[in-house]
């Protein structure tokens, strides 16, 4: 199989087991596509949900991403990590979906985990002048606040954040997914962090230590 896909592709395939799986999908090997779906479905939905706001919509887009992969399987020639290619498709679909929603006269809303929908601006979403010691946020409430903070970022910042945070992608890979330069990704992530810090600064020291060890 490797000789058929060329030396460069073969080198990628040897390094990346996901590419080997995709090459099996390309060869119409029974069960390979299902294996691919099982392997990536969760990761795709995790990336897409902050982009589109609801799990249902994230799943629709994830499904569409897999179908695009399947439809273009015969033209697949590995040039980068498989996940980079997959997330590039997902990113394009998510941006198209967001743009088409913007074109429609539809009120932007936040869909929280509890299913509530809110139509507030970012500044309104978070309590401005609550005294910190009085508030004890449980994890779920904190998650709600963070979801809203993420929703306040523009879609490019949001995508850069989720790819970096949840997929642990470096700037070069994010740049490929988003069609940007690594320098532009660095700038996007930096601005996103500043925005998040501004919104979340009231909460960062109030709920005990974060899940990670902060010491460098």
Partner 1 sequence: MAEPEHPDDSLEKEELYSSYLDGEMTEEEAREFEAKLASSPEERANFQAMKKTWAMLDYLPKPDVTVSFTEKTMERMKALSSPTIAIKDYSAVVRGMVFAAVLLILFAGGVRVGTLSFKETINVDEELIKNLRLYEYKNIYEQIENIEFLKKLDAPDLFGQDPSGL
d(CA 123, CA 152): 9
d(CA 76, CA 73): 5
Q: Which is nearer to partner 1, 5 or 142 (CB)?
A: 142
User: Per CB under 8 A, does 39 bind partner 1?
Assistant: no
Question: How many contiguous H segments (helices) and E segments (strands) does the chain have?
Answer: 10, 2
Q: Which is nearer to partner 1, 41 or 118 (CB)?
A: 41
User: Per CB under 8 A, does 58 bind partner 1?
Assistant: yes
The minimum distance between CB 132 and partner 1, in angstroms, equals: 14
User: Per CB under 8 A, does 87 bind partner 1?
Assistant: no
d(CA 104, CA 82): 33
Among 9, 63, 88, 118, indicate the residue that binds partner 1 (CB under 8 A).
Answer: 63
Strands, E, within the chain: which ranges?
A: 110-111, 117-118
Q: Of 43-51, 77-85, 114-122, 127-135, which segment contacts partner 1 by CB under 8 A?
A: 43-51
User: Per CB under 8 A, does 156 bind partner 1?
Assistant: no
Q: Which is nearer to partner 1, 2 or 172 (CB)?
A: 172
Give the chain's end-to-end CA distance (angstroms, integer): 46
Q: Is the dihedral of CA 101, 102, 104, 109 positive or negative?
A: positive
What burial class does residue 141 get, using C-beta atoms within 10 Å of its C-beta: 0-12 exposed, 13-18 middle, 19+ buried? middle
Among 3, 4, 7, 71, indicate the residue that binds partner 1 (CB under 8 A).
Answer: 71
C-alpha 164: how far from chain center: 8
**Closest-CA residue to 59 (of 45, 40, 39, 42):** 45
| Interaction site with partner 1 (CB under 8 A) | 33-34, 37-38, 41-42, 45-46, 49-50, 55, 58-59, 62-63, 66-67, 70-71, 113, 139, 142-143, 146-147, 150, 161, 164-166, 170-171, 186-187, 189-191, 193-194, 196-197, 200-201, 203-205, 210-212, 214, 216
């Amino acid at each position: 199989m490797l000789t058929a896909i060329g030396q460069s592709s073969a080198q990628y395939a040897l390094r990346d087991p996901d590419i080997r799986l995709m090459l099996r999908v390309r060869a119409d090997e029974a069960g390979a596509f299902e294996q691919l779906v099982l392997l990536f479905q969760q990761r795709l939905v995790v990336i897409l949900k902050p982009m589109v706001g609801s799990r249902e919509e994230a799943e629709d887009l994830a499904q569409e991403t897999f179908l695009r992969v399947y439809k273009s399987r015969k033209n697949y020639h590995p040039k980068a990590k498989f996940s980079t290619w997959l997330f590039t498709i997902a990113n394009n679909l998510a941006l198209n979906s967001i743009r088409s929603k913007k074109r429609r006269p539809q009120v932007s809303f936040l869909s929280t985990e509890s299913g509530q929908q809110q139509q507030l601006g970012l500044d309104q979403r978070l309590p401005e002048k609550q005294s910190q010691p009085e508030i004890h946020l449980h994890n779920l409430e904190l998650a709600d606040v963070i979801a809203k903070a993420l929703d306040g970022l523009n879609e490019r910042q949001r995508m850069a954040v989720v790819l970096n945070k949840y997929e642990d992608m470096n700037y070069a890979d994010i740049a490929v997914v988003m069609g940007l330069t690594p320098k532009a990704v660095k700038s996007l992530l930096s601005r996103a962090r500043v925005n998040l810090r501004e919104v979340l600064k009231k909460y960062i020291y109030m709920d005990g230590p974060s899940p990670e060890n902060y010491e460098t």
